[in-house]
Structure 1
Amino acid sequence: MYSVSKHLFLISQTITKKMEKDLYRATIEGNVEALIKLIQEDPLILDRSMATTFGETPLHVAALLGHQQFTIELVTRKPELARELDSRGSSALHLASAKGHVGIIKALVALDPDMCFLRDKDGRNPIHIAGQKGRIGVLKELLGAESGAARALLQLRGETILHLCVDYCQFDAFQFLVENVDFQDLINCKDSNGNTILHLAVADKQIKTIDYLLDKTNIEVNSANANGQTAMDILVQSRRDKSDIEISEMLQNAGALKSTHIFPSTKHKSPIQTFPTPLSKSNITIQSANSSLASQDHPTTWEQYFNKQDEWLEKQRDSLMVVASLIASMGFTAGLTPPPGVLTFQHRLSAWGIYCRFLIYNTTSFISSLSIILLLVSGIPVRRRVFMWILMVIMWIAVSSTALTYAVSIETHTNSNEFTTKYGVLLIGVIIWLFLMTMLLVFHTARFGVMFAKKFKKVSSRGDNV
């Protein structure tokens, strides 16, 4: 009796597996007649498909492949299939939205419009998926069924559907949403990093999107993200591109500023009186204050030059690191394996012997380059002018010492007959190099001194006024 029951059970399992395979084949093909026949043979076949551990129901497969009639037949016979989720938390509506199957979208939202609010494991609902993929036809259907789902934020990063459109370069979908949904209050929404859609568009150099935002919306051009960066800061710090000039002009025409210029540009906007007033001590004080404020709002040529130098150094941080690392490697290698000509003189350690000079110049170059690397990784703000001046001086020392090391190495390879001529040419070259380096050092030291004197004068004048 037991063996008979077991045998019947195995037969039943075999039949069930065969029918499941037949259902899967019918779903892949979109064969409605085969589906109806299977349901007639086994009315519980769809219920069993919902109970599978994989989570992918026939409706998921049909929606993914775009079998519209097959999908309608499924949801008509078993409506609860529409709310089943696969292993990624996606419903059939998510998959149809991703693939752009408008007919299937209509059938599913007609069954239950609230499915527009269902989220997958990434926190995206079907409207988010459609915006991310740029499916405008799907967006029309979903917004018509439940436009409120378009205002939902992504749970992980706090992004809006507009962020997704810009992030995935879907300008047409972005434009459609802005023009057909009241998204003016979402235009300036920020994600978890404080980035607006303008930040994202500028970072990705999307000229068309930037132009549309600045011309057609109420986007705040000087909104700062969590790092205190405006759209202009993002442009300055992003990778170089041929579109930078055009984007910069568009932002400037819209009044965009860098974060360091926002507060000075918005202060002291009270109008200055132009009609004649009696001269008095108070009037003189007011006029001097106004003139000092005007000078702050409109920097002099020297101040503009200093600011450009500061910005240049900040942009060249990586380049300085590479150059310093290269010089350090050269110095380390030359110290361990000096040129053969220098080794000939290694026992002659007179005050300015060839080997002694080689060691001094090479060690100076090596230590200077290591100092630059240490300063760059120390976390000291690069925009500090004192720090900038120190870095430039050390770099000049490192480069000059490398040049002098080269000169000593060449000197050891010169024959005695040709020594006078070649050494004279070498000496002239070194003198010219040192002269140029000295001029640069004097110029930048004077520049630093002028800046320090002006700052000291400002501090003194404030103390006198107090």
Structure 2
Amino acid sequence: MSVPKYPGLLDEEESFETAQTMDPKLYRAIMKDDILEFVRAMECDRQHGPKVSCVQLGPQNKTVLHVATSYGSYEIVKLICKDLPDLVAEKNARGDTAFHIAARAGSSQLVTLLVNSDFAEGGLREKNEEGNSALHEALKYGHEEVARILINRNPVMPYSLNKEGKSLLYLAAGAGFLTIVRLLMDNPVGSYSTGAKHKNKSPVFAAILGHNIDIIKLLWEKDPSMFQLRNSKGKSPLHAAVCMGFTEGVKFLLDRQFEFAYRKDKQGFHPIHSAASKGLVDMIQMMLQHRPDARELLTAHGQNILHVAARSGKYKAVEYMLKRPEMEMLINEKDADGNTPLHLATIYAHPKLVGILARDKRVIPRLLNNNRQMALDIAEEQIEVGLVSFHKRLTCMALRSVDAPRAHKPTSRSTSFKLRDQPETESWRDKINTILLVATVVATVTFQAGFTVPGGNNNTHYDPGIATMLKKVKFQEFVICNTIAMHTSVIVAVTLLWAQLGDPSSMRLALKSAILLLGIALAMMSIAFLAGVYLVVSTLCWLAITVLLISSSFVFALVVLFVPLCFLGSSNRHIFRRLSYYPFCLVLYALRD
């Protein structure tokens, strides 16, 4: 038996079914709202039965009424509603009736035609595959006038939820339709205000998300019990208003029921903790004005608002709290793990925040957590464990720059390396090889630049071989910087050769020294390039200035990037540790952290 050239193709062809199609003339007539052509197309096949044409369906199971409504063909929709009213309740492949399509498009004219047809009531109640009625669609897409027409046509419409769990009242509140919300709340059928039916999708939360204070006031007036509901995360309406930064909503809720301020969500956060975690200073200030004792509230993990702000890295919120004398008691408070705000800022690597806290004289950096660690112990421990993020290096640098104490002596380098496994040692070797490669490239480039100087050499019999631009200041700058870069990179290469001997302590010391020297070599090479290019284009003023500005900015960026790599805060000398604070600030400014 022969094997098919394309296996499986025959099976697909056998199972293929021709899709439903609509007569092209009929479809084009509907698109153009050409009623005469539409009537001719509907009557053209009467020999096959009087209703063959009228039940023609498109690929998505659309009737002629679906298509006409989609294209806004008013005259044809009007004719169909009069002569073929049973099509009003027909559904397409998505479960949409003509009502759904017209309501989604926001066409009040088409909706009015449909609601006045004989089969309108059935179409109004139908739901599509998403569980939406036509009224759901109108509210979901923000068509207030259409929603009002649909409600007036059927004022006793029963309560309903779509498959997302959203009620008509939820959608109306979220859209900000005050009149519609009032109509739905006054509906005599369905108990729209019954709390149990809004458990997961409360209209109150919808109004808060939309910052609709008038609707919030109306909901409170009609049914205050709805404000006791919480969302799936256990958050109350006040939590939601605070997180949204909804000032009017927060003030309204605190004025009506202050108990909201003392309720926790599933995470164990009170509303003021939510404000602190997002750094919303205005929200914190407002809540403290209404409930001053809210500053004493603790999360489920025993953390105050300063803890939460420090953990989240919200330095503006922390700065605000540090400026408030009445919050001084929070500064050195410990959570369930014994961590102070400084500990948490260190653990979560927020260097700017660590710098702010560590330099505040009221902060006590020597406090121990439950692991008997001070903040610097945590920072150094994070650096010791292999690959470490840039922010963690800066965090450690911030603590060292203010002479933060440590509870434990640093692990000796030899012991530290003995504790590491072989893959970790190989990681250090890879770093050394990378730096060695860069240093070799720098040495090669600067060596060549030393013999191909800008402007070339004198070829006359007077001073043969001497540089033609020898007396230019920029040329002298080029030579000096290039010489420093070349010799520094050679020293880096030799230093790293010592590291290849395998001694763990020399490996770390060599790497630490090499990074600093390589930074100097790269900076000198960049300045040499700047001087050389500036020298050869100096006669064209605008170009020389442009080169100077561009190169200077990149040299500055180079310095900023190399500062934290060089561990400026790791010196044992007090003066160097203090001086390292300024490059630390420079790095933070460059990072906009």
Q: Normalising by structure 1, report the TM-score.
A: 0.57
The 1-side partners of 2:209 and 2:161 are apart by 20
The code of the aligned residue for 2:280 comes to Q
Q: Does 1:154 align with 2:240?
A: no
Same amino acid, percent of matched pairs: 16
Q: Which has the higher helix share?
A: 1
Pick aligned residue for 1:179 from 255, 260, 270: 255
Contact 1:194/1:225 (<8 A) preserved: yes
Pick aligned residue for 1:41 from 117, 125, 132: 117
The 1-side partners of 2:220 and 2:213 are apart by 10
Worse overlay, 230-239 or 80-89 = 80-89
Contact 1:59/1:71 (<8 A) preserved: yes
The alpha-carbon deviation at position 256 of structure 1 amounts to 3.1
Counterpart residue number, 2:263: 189
Counterpart residue number, 1:7: 52
What does residue range 297-376 of structure 1 map to in structure 2 within 5 Å?
A: 304=364, 306-307=366-367, 310-311=374-375, 314=378, 317=382, 318-319=389-390, 330-334=431-435, 339=440, 358-361=496-499
The alpha-carbon deviation at position 173 of structure 1 amounts to 1.0
Counterpart residue number, 1:199: 273
Contact 1:102/1:137 (<8 A) preserved: yes
Q: Does 1:111 align with 2:175?
A: no
The alpha-carbon deviation at position 51 of structure 1 amounts to 3.7
The alpha-carbon deviation at position 101 of structure 1 amounts to 1.1
Contact 2:135/2:150 (<8 A) preserved: yes
The code of the aligned residue for 2:318 comes to D
Counterpart residue number, 2:512: 399
The 1-side partners of 2:100 and 2:518 are apart by 81
The code of the aligned residue for 1:203 comes to S
The code of the aligned residue for 1:331 comes to I
Assess, with a 3 A threshold, how the Cα gap between structure 1 residues 341 and 38 changes in structure 2: closer, same or farther: closer
The alpha-carbon deviation at position 37 of structure 1 amounts to 4.5
Counterpart residue number, 1:221: 295
The alpha-carbon deviation at position 53 of structure 1 amounts to 2.7
Cα root mean square deviation, aligned: 5.1
Assess, with a 3 A threshold, how the Cα gap between structure 1 residues 9 and 120 changes in structure 2: closer, same or farther: farther
Assess, with a 3 A threshold, how the Cα gap between structure 1 residues 148 and 368 changes in structure 2: closer, same or farther: farther
Assess, with a 3 A threshold, how the Cα gap between structure 1 residues 109 and 235 changes in structure 2: closer, same or farther: same
| CA deviation vs aligned residue, 1:272-311 (integer Å, no higher than 9, x gap) | xxxxxxxxxxxxxxxxxxxxxxxxxxxxx9x945349933
Q: Does 1:248 align with 2:322?
A: yes
The 1-side partners of 2:505 and 2:282 are apart by 47
The 2-side partners of 1:363 and 1:307 are apart by 41
Worse overlay, 230-239 or 94-103 = 230-239
Counterpart secondary structure, 2:219: helix
The alpha-carbon deviation at position 400 of structure 1 amounts to 4.9
The 1-side partners of 2:113 and 2:437 are apart by 85
The code of the aligned residue for 1:86 comes to N
The code of the aligned residue for 2:283 comes to T
| CA deviation vs aligned residue, 1:358-397 (integer Å, no higher than 9, x gap) | 44446679x5799xxxxxxxxxxxxxxxxxxxxxxx8x78
Counterpart secondary structure, 2:223: helix
The alpha-carbon deviation at position 208 of structure 1 amounts to 1.6
Contact 1:230/1:258 (<8 A) preserved: no
What does residue range 45-56 of structure 1 map to in structure 2 within 5 Å?
A: 45-47=121-123, 49-56=125-132
Q: Does 1:139 align with 2:199?
A: no
Contact 1:199/1:231 (<8 A) preserved: yes
The alpha-carbon deviation at position 42 of structure 1 amounts to 1.9
Between the two proteins, the alignment pairs up a number of residues equal to 343
Contact 1:232/1:258 (<8 A) preserved: no
Counterpart secondary structure, 2:375: helix
* Unaligned ranges ≥5, structure 2: 1-46, 67-76, 78-87, 89-96, 339-360, 383-388, 397-423, 444-491, 521-566, 578-593
The 1-side partners of 2:314 and 2:337 are apart by 27
| CA deviation vs aligned residue, 1:49-88 (integer Å, no higher than 9, x gap) | 5243343322123334665565344334434645233342
The code of the aligned residue for 1:175 comes to K
The alpha-carbon deviation at position 125 of structure 1 amounts to 0.7
The alpha-carbon deviation at position 439 of structure 1 amounts to 5.3
Worse overlay, 226-235 or 57-66 = 57-66
Counterpart secondary structure, 1:191: coil
Assess, with a 3 A threshold, how the Cα gap between structure 1 residues 240 and 167 changes in structure 2: closer, same or farther: closer
The 1-side partners of 2:302 and 2:169 are apart by 39
Worse overlay, 87-96 or 102-111 = 87-96
Q: Normalising by structure 2, report the TM-score.
A: 0.46
Counterpart secondary structure, 1:221: helix
The 2-side partners of 1:35 and 1:438 are apart by 80
Q: Does 1:234 align with 2:294?
A: no
Assess, with a 3 A threshold, how the Cα gap between structure 1 residues 140 and 315 changes in structure 2: closer, same or farther: farther
Counterpart secondary structure, 1:248: helix
Pick aligned residue for 1:128 from 174, 188, 205: 205
Assess, with a 3 A threshold, how the Cα gap between structure 1 residues 80 and 255 changes in structure 2: closer, same or farther: farther
Assess, with a 3 A threshold, how the Cα gap between structure 1 residues 361 and 153 changes in structure 2: closer, same or farther: same
The 1-side partners of 2:442 and 2:323 are apart by 58
The 2-side partners of 1:341 and 1:134 are apart by 59
The code of the aligned residue for 2:223 comes to E
Assess, with a 3 A threshold, how the Cα gap between structure 1 residues 310 and 115 changes in structure 2: closer, same or farther: same
The alpha-carbon deviation at position 216 of structure 1 amounts to 1.1
The 2-side partners of 1:198 and 1:115 are apart by 31
Assess, with a 3 A threshold, how the Cα gap between structure 1 residues 405 and 207 changes in structure 2: closer, same or farther: closer
